[in-house]
Amino acid sequence: MTKQTVLVSKSGRPKDQAKRKAVLEAAKSLFLSKGYEGSSMDAIAAEAGVSKLTVYNHYRDKATLFSAAITAKCDEQLPERLFEFSPHASIETVLLNIGIKYLELICSSEAVALQRVIVAMANQEPKLACMFYEAGARHMLREMTNLLMRASLAGRLHIEDPQKAAERFFCLLKGDDYFRVLIGICEPLEGEQAARHVHEVVTVFLGLHSCETPQVRAVMPFGTLASPAKAQVPSVARTPGR
């Protein structure tokens, strides 16, 4: 007999997966458009077309639903298949696809607005800020770390610390522009500009970690400056008698 996994509520009734999905979709829409404080469980229930009790049957509280909604949004924009490693796939293409989707996600008007709300609430709601990080940035960082680790083990990239390399990749993608977008003094990159930026980031990243062109770099102690090389003066042939 085939075993089936059925979610059961506290009352003993099987949970309706269609309703669960409707609640999650409603939560994604409202949290991204109205922020955390502006999205009540009553409003989410109304948006989903279910009762408030149904919402609580699937998600024990608003914070849990918020975390699930952020994770679902990240998976929607950056699905796991983007982070799958294939020994025969082009590493450059994989990184370009991830870069474009990541930039689209973090620079969307909804994501920028939500980021601003979370930053403003961080002092009063540190637990919520932590959940936001774990469900969003940390979730994507784990996926990227696993991808780079597999690529390194397969000899496709030279990476000593996959997590640090993943952090570096995402930081390069954000650049200075992302901070300026957050504080509202510039528009996010789009179209050709965004594609060009992602391509430049991937080029720099592969230059650091490619196995094809190994480079030897001297590591200088922090705070020290490299000594300037002595200028080489070319020899000049003297004319006889001068």
Shared domain for 33 and 140, answered yes or no, is no
Task: State the pTM of this model.
Answer: 0.75
pLDDT tens for 29-84 read 998 888 888 899 999 999 999 999 999 999 999 999 998 988 888 888 888 889 99
Shared domain for 181 and 86, answered yes or no, is yes
* β-strand partners of 210: 157
Predicted confidence at residue 34, as pLDDT, reads: 86
Shared domain for 49 and 88, answered yes or no, is no
Give the other-Cβ count within 10 Å of 72's Cβ: 16
pLDDT band at 173 (very low <50, low <70, confident <90, very high): very high
Shared domain for 86 and 180, answered yes or no, is yes
Question: Count of domains in the chain?
Answer: 2
Average pLDDT in the chain: 83
Give the C-alpha separation, 82 to 69, whole Å: 20
Shared domain for 123 and 201, answered yes or no, is yes
pLDDT tens for 102-126 read 999 999 988 898 888 889 888 988 9
Rg (CA), the chain: 25
Is 9 part of any domain? Answer: no
Shared domain for 60 and 87, answered yes or no, is no
Domain that holds residue 23: 14-77
Shared domain for 195 and 149, answered yes or no, is yes
User: Does residue 235 register a pLDDT over 70?
Assistant: no
* CATH code of the domain in which 55 resides: 1.10.10.60
Is-contact 83 147, C-beta < 8 A? yes
